[in-house]
Amino acid sequence: MKHTVSVDRLQPGVFISISGVGWLDHPFLLNRFRLANADQIRVLRSLGLKEIEWDPARSTAQPLPVAQEREPEEDFSAAVIASMLNTKRDRTERVREQREGLARCERLYEQEATGVQDILRDLGSRPAESFGRARATVGRMVGSLLGSQSIAIHLVNMKVKEPGMAQHAMNVAVLSLLLGKAADLDEEQMRLLGLGAMFHDIGKTEVPARVLRNAQRTHAEEQFYQSHVGYGVKHAAVIPELPTAVRNIIACHHERWDGSGFPNRLQGAKIPRLARIVAIANRYDNLCNPFDLSTARTPGDAVAHMFKREAAHFDPELLQLFVKAVGIYPPGCFVAINDGSIGLVVETNSKDLLHPLVMVYDPGVPRSEALLVDLREAEAKIESVLNPAKIPLEVVEYLAPRGRVDYYLEGLH
């Protein structure tokens, strides 16, 4: 049921919708928002609106009683509108640039993921060539981060029907390099880390898909699953020039800080440091992107789960660095904004993790043109992280049609 109210009864705190007015025909950033001040009400009046739709559930104040309707006052809104339109034009141009930036990152991610898929496919038949291509790919990724003052983490929307090992390898490599950068690894260590992260699961090609996909494995199936580490070491043996540090990542990425991992139940500092980094990145991606997406955790929930429930499994110093690196609002988080809107975090900057770039839900705007709000510039703030299970399905499908969480890193110099 729609609720309407006279513009003269509006006051700050009332959540309104002006979706009947074209986005280009008004100076506001959003079509649906919570009124913040009297200037906004004067602008609404100057647009010729008499009645306006409002949402009681999302309002923090009720409309004024009819008896308290305000007397007409002199209209000072012209200057306000001009200023708001100028601001909106500037923001629209920045949104265009941001959208182009995200599209560019998605193209780069897709190119790299396709390359990784080819590398992993050809590793058995053409190991030397595949290793050379892997070094080049990791070199490009590491090169973009070296000397960067901050890192932008972009959420990408890969258009693939069923992501496989290549997407997981890419995500683990990206997340490992993010953590490696936070841990101040040098260039050589970063390159070794990226290679090990890319190759960490190469042994899974020997394990049947029914075993990999089964979340309720029998003891025998679990033993078969764990054997992928040994198969990976075997695959790595056909590449003589593969550095020992990379082989150790393949061998040790399932070892745990408390000694409860496999295959050798190594404990603490006995686990090679680069393998400890990949273990954290691997677990995070598996929580966010399991085979059964119905069991996927949100990025924020995945971080909280690792920190609160599984902290004993990971190097405590590296886990702390990882939590700081992905931020309070990791890309892929659904958030409630204080103007009443719902958004999806699509980019964070390591220098200002509290004010990410957010894609805002607005049913009146096609998703391909969805508004991007940079919270470093906007007055809006994040109120809370939302559980997608408690958000209307149409909102989730608008903001995150794939349900996966894939990242691309970009060094900002």
Cβ distance 347 to 357 under 8 Å?
Answer: yes
Q: How far is CA 261 from CA 1, 178, 335, in A?
A: 55, 24, 35
97-149+158-295 folds as: Hypothetical protein af1432 (1.10.3210)
- Sequence spans of domains, the chain: 3-75, 97-149+158-295
CB atoms within 10 A of CB 7: 19
CA angle centred on 215, ends 395 and 159, rounded to 5°: 40
Per-residue model confidence (pLDDT) at position 327: 87
pLDDT at 148: 78
Paired tokens of 364? 């009146």
| CA 274 – CA 245 distance, rounded (Å) | 8
Q: Which of 115, 242, 226, 235 is nearest to 167 (CA)?
A: 115
At what angle are helices 187-199 and 244-252 packed, to 10 degrees?
40
**Stretch 199-220: mean pLDDT, rounded?**
93
pLDDT above 90 (res 372): no
Half-sphere exposure of 140 (CA within 13 A, CB side): 14
372 phi/psi in degrees, rounded to 5: -105, 125
Q: Which two tokens stand for residue 332?
A: 């892929």
Here the tokens at position 232 are: 């990976």
DSSP SS3 for 334: strand
Q: Measuring CA to CA, how many Å separate 244 from each of 93, 215, 249, 251?
A: 49, 32, 9, 10
Q: How far apart are CA 382 and CA 355, in angstroms?
A: 8
Mean pLDDT of 81-102: 72
Q: Which of 78-87, 156-165, 276-285, 332-341 has the highest mean pLDDT?
A: 276-285
What's the sign of the alpha-carbon dihedral 8, 12, 13, 15?
Answer: positive
pLDDT (average), residues 393-399: 91
* pLDDT (average), residues 24-43: 84
339: which DSSP letter? T
Average pLDDT over all residues of the chain = 88
Which of 153-167, 268-282, 295-309, 381-395 has the least mean pLDDT? 153-167
Which stretch of DSSP H or E encloses residue 90?
helix 77-122
Listed ranges 16-20, 176-180, 394-398; the one with the highest mean pLDDT: 176-180
